[in-house]
Amino acid sequence: MKMNRRSVLGAIGVVGVGTGAAFGSGAFSSTTAQRAVEVNVFGAGVSDSGVDGLVSGLTETEENDLADDITANFVDVLVDASSDTVDIYDADGQNDVSTDGNNLFPENPGSTETYSGIGSNYVSLVANDVTIVFGDGNGLPPNSTVSYTELFTFVGNDTTSYDVTFGDTNGGSILSSVAGSDVSSGSTVTVSSGSSPSKNAEVETGTSSNSREDLDIRIEETPSP
């Protein structure tokens, strides 16, 4: 099984602050902006997990099997949905799943050795086709850079190191930074065999409405030195 492409639809929504708040050089009475990011995950010679859509309601055995299948062939990329400004939507942009994502794979990460130490607030971007919304309901300041601690975590392969690259020619104006590197130039996280690193990220809120960008995530074996 070879994964040529997985599509994970991500949307970043930003709701402005109240009357009279000043940011940068201007004052905003209110602002509403949608930040939509279509995330395309590409793998070089890695196996697809074989699932699409929202993965929920699995038995413990099924969760273990899926976790092993993903990480035996490449790595998993997960997003932290615990912040009150991060919500999880389905691929159609509807909030009909638990907003903190705790009913999506991995629902019970502590029950599998593969995801040992990963909290249920993390949602797999490989197994689930989801939307990520920043600022929905709670609001984020316009024209600002918002930092998220350990927004992404990675679960590595037992024997092989992989490079996970966010952006490059696609993406970077909304999800602007991962692991301290600009997404517009390609931000690469090396996931060493057997490791589970977590990385910070930054989001640029902007002021315009209904913006959209493509964001590529490439998963490739780390080149030999």
Q: What is the pTM of this model?
A: 0.80
Q: Which residues contact 113 (CB under 8 A, 6 or more apart)?
A: none
CA distances from 57 to 61, 90, 103, 127 (A): 11, 15, 7, 13
pLDDT at 30: 45
Whether 155 contacts 76, CB under 8 Å: yes
C-alpha 88/C-alpha 51 separation (Å) is 18
CA distance 146 to 152: 15
pLDDT at residue 222, as a whole number: 93
Instruction: Going from the first residue of the chain to its last (225 residues), give the mean pLDDT of each consecutive group of 10, the final group possibly shorter.
Output: 30 29 37 60 55 79 89 90 81 64 85 85 84 72 87 93 87 89 94 90 79 79 87
User: Residue 57 CA to chain centroid, in angstroms?
Assistant: 21
pLDDT of residue 73: 86
Are the C-beta atoms of residues 202 and 177 closer than 8 Å to each other?
Answer: yes
Largest CA distance in the chain: 56
Q: C-alpha 183: how far from its chain's center?
A: 13
How many C-beta atoms surround the C-beta of residue 24 within 10 A?
11
- Please tell me the predicted confidence (pLDDT) of residue 99: 66
pLDDT given at position 103: 84
